[in-house]
A and B are shown apart, each in its own frame.
Chain A
């Protein structure tokens, strides 16, 4: 009896704290602080200048924070109630952009982490399975050819990504798929779609359209507002929740296909389902921010380096690190060049590329998980 009790206690502590390590908690805390600070910088600076104190007090302005009408305007798109200029700038222009960056950062990081487990390849990312080029092509086709569909651009981007992924899966399927075949098919489908994209650029005769297209293809938060938050919030939360709940499945998948099968996992089904979740997550980000390069590849690496390879930890880490890095990158994209805004994808590419190379040099083994 006594023994059973002590065993029970051990099990309980394991349940509560077994994987929640000090490192993980610290990492998440640090990420949260970075997110908040970067967010504050983002709402403070810009063409309409404020001091930190003004911005801070505008963020926590009780007449907005506890105003149901204001929230209904933010979340459901109803009429905006009267408020001060500070409040309008902070709450209606700058904060939503931060929120969009938070959602996109979290979903992209988690999507990348899932794809890396599903393909058992550290070099996989949301975009290696064709999602990015498919979405990019769909966006470009809409802007150039089917201009009437422009209001549905986010939906179309997600759709393009999904179709491309299904093509990749179809090519890789041969009585089952394998990580290597999936990645190879992804590379090939990527190439085809990129050629199509480049072909489409020849039909662009308007400079404005070309710029919009480039902003989509490199990823940008310019001009995002509550509308984008409304698009991304619910599917984003759903994808993240399912992904977190699936972390044990991902861990078992990492034991290798044969072992996972021996343990009673329907590997193909789980792999397809998890890929679907990862696409949903990536589509959320693509729909509001376009294609932010390198992000889904690099963030899981950073997190893995710090908290380790256990997906229960990795997913939580990604959930916090993704927003921190995305909001920071967007601060750079918006404010670094003074008056001119860059696409955030340029910043993530410029910072993420060299960092990834550094990781490759530092680590002995890379590639296979």
Chain B
């Protein structure tokens, strides 16, 4: 663990060939806590979200993933440290300006049940529209693209309240897609969804990344899924970064024991696979 920490401060994140990767989002020397409590929730010397890649944040409940994501999206002012997007500090952005660079989908979304999917997605255009602006051609095109990417064109006129949890999540994701940002942060988009919708959400993210080079940071609670899906993993434990890098390097039986407290088998052939066996006794 201590070794990991020193590594973290000294090295940039590298891809499988050992070449340094450009980062879209960088958090430096972060110390995060909520205004209502004294306790520091996350301490992190450096966090990189590599450009044009999908990074998954993994870790057990309460390890500080969501808190970290909140600070990356300027929803939580760090007590110490800075977050930069494409080299510019978040603080220097106007709110709307930031919302054009960075899309965020938080974990819990509640809204009027009576809003239609299309209307919801149009709200994703908010940062692109002035107070008196009406819907422009560009807005319309972005909404159509988002509907198509999320594969929910047929739900266009459905009311949100009538949809299943999975369909709702796809609608919310489409709203963030309509925001048309280079960087996307998603907090547990697949939790509570059935397998079919989990895959549809992940495929939408993957497609977005491949077709448009969007940088994605996503919190996934299923380490096995994250290992198969993401280009990079960031594993968190007790408010600190345990390890990060490509899944083949990060996912080890040691990590599963230390971070998740499970005994598991990790297979590398034919592809990376995590097979959890049993819970380890609490230490």
A residues apposed to B, CB below 8 Å = 4, 7-8, 10-11, 14-15, 175, 245, 249, 251-252, 254-256, 258-259, 261-266, 308-310, 369
B137 touches A262 (CB 8 A): no
A259 touches B109 (CB 8 A): yes
Complex Cα gap A308–B124 (Å): 21
- Segment touching A, from B96-104, B201-209, B273-281: B96-104
The 3 closest A-B pairs by CB, nearest first: A264-B99, A264-B127, A264-B96
Whether the pair A256, B111 counts as a contact (CB closer than 8 A) is: yes
B124 touches A263 (CB 8 A): yes
In the assembled complex, 13 residue pairs joining A and B whose CB atoms fall closer than 8 Å, in A order, are A7-B144, A11-B140, A15-B134, A245-B131, A251-B123, A252-B126, A255-B111, A255-B123, A256-B111, A263-B123, A263-B179, A265-B96, A265-B126
Cβ of B112 < 8 Å from any Cβ of A? yes
The answer to whether residues A254 and B112 also contact, given A264-B99, A265-B95 and a CB cut-off of 8 A, is yes
Task: Assess A369 versus B112: contact at CB under 8 Å? Given A11-B135, A258-B106, A264-B99.
Answer: yes
Sample of 14 further A-B pairs with CB below 8 A, known A4-B137, A175-B35: A8-B140, A11-B135, A14-B135, A249-B131, A254-B111, A255-B109, A255-B123, A256-B109, A262-B73, A262-B75, A262-B105, A263-B126, A264-B126, A310-B119
CA distance A160 to B96 in the complex (A): 35
CB-contact partner of A309 in B75, B100, B115, B135, under 8 A: B115
- CB-nearest residue of chain A to B99: A264
Q: With A8-B137, A14-B140, A310-B119 as given contacts, are A263 and B127 in contact (CB-CB < 8 Å)?
A: yes
CB-based nearest B residue for A16:
B134
Q: How far is the CB of B181 from chain A (nearest CB, A)?
A: 10
Q: Check B114 for interface membership: any CB of A closer than 8 A.
A: yes
Residues of A within 8 A of B140 (CB): 7-8, 10-11, 14
Chain B minimum-CB-distance residue to A311 = B112
- Write out the residue numbers on chain A whose beta carbons fall within 8 Å of the beta carbon of B99: 262-264
Q: Would you give the shortest CB distance from A330 to chain B, in whole angstroms?
A: 32
- Distance in angstroms between the alpha carbons of A147 and B35 in the assembled complex: 48
How far is it, in angstroms, between the C-alpha of A262 and the C-alpha of B131 when the chains are bound? 17
Complex Cα gap A251–B140 (Å): 18
CB A293 to nearest CB in B, in angstroms, measures: 27
A249 to B126, CA, bound (A): 9
The CA-CA distance from A308 to B113 in the complex, in Å, is 10
A61 to chain B, nearest CB (A): 40
With A15-B135, A263-B123, A308-B114 in contact, do A258 and B75 touch (Cβ < 8 Å)? Answer: yes
In the assembled complex, B141 has its CB within 8 A of some CB on chain A: yes
A84 CB to closest chain B CB (Å) equals 47
Docked CA distance A262–B186 (Å): 11
Interface residue? B282 (CB, 8 A): no
Assess whether B110 is interfacial by the CB under 8 Å rule. yes
- Shortest C-beta distance, B214 to chain A (Å), equals 16
Contacts of B136 in A (CB 8 A): 11
Contact with A along B20-43 (1 / 0, CB 8 A): 000000000000000100000000
Q: A5 to chain B: closest CB distance in Å?
A: 10
Residues of chain A with a CB closer than 8 A to B139's CB: 11
Q: Are B114 and A309 in contact (CB under 8 A)?
A: yes
**How far does the alpha carbon of A347 sit from the alpha carbon of B242 in the complex, in Å?**
67
Chain B hits for A261, CB < 8 A? 75, 95
Q: In angstroms, how far is the closest chain B Cβ from the Cβ of A245?
A: 7
A11 and B137 contact, CB distance less than 8 A: yes
Interface centre among A175, A252, A259, A309 (most CB of B within 10 A): A259
Instruction: Give Cα A14 to B118, complex, Å.
Output: 11
Report yes or no: B127 in contact with A310, Cβ–Cβ below 8 A: no
Q: How far is the CB of A254 from chain B (nearest CB, A)?
A: 6
Which residues of B are found within 8 Å of A256, using beta-carbon distances? 109-111
Q: What separation, in Å, do the CA atoms of A248 and B104 have in the docked complex?
A: 20
Q: Which of B95, B112, B115, B132 is close to A266, meaning CB atoms less than 8 Å apart?
A: B95
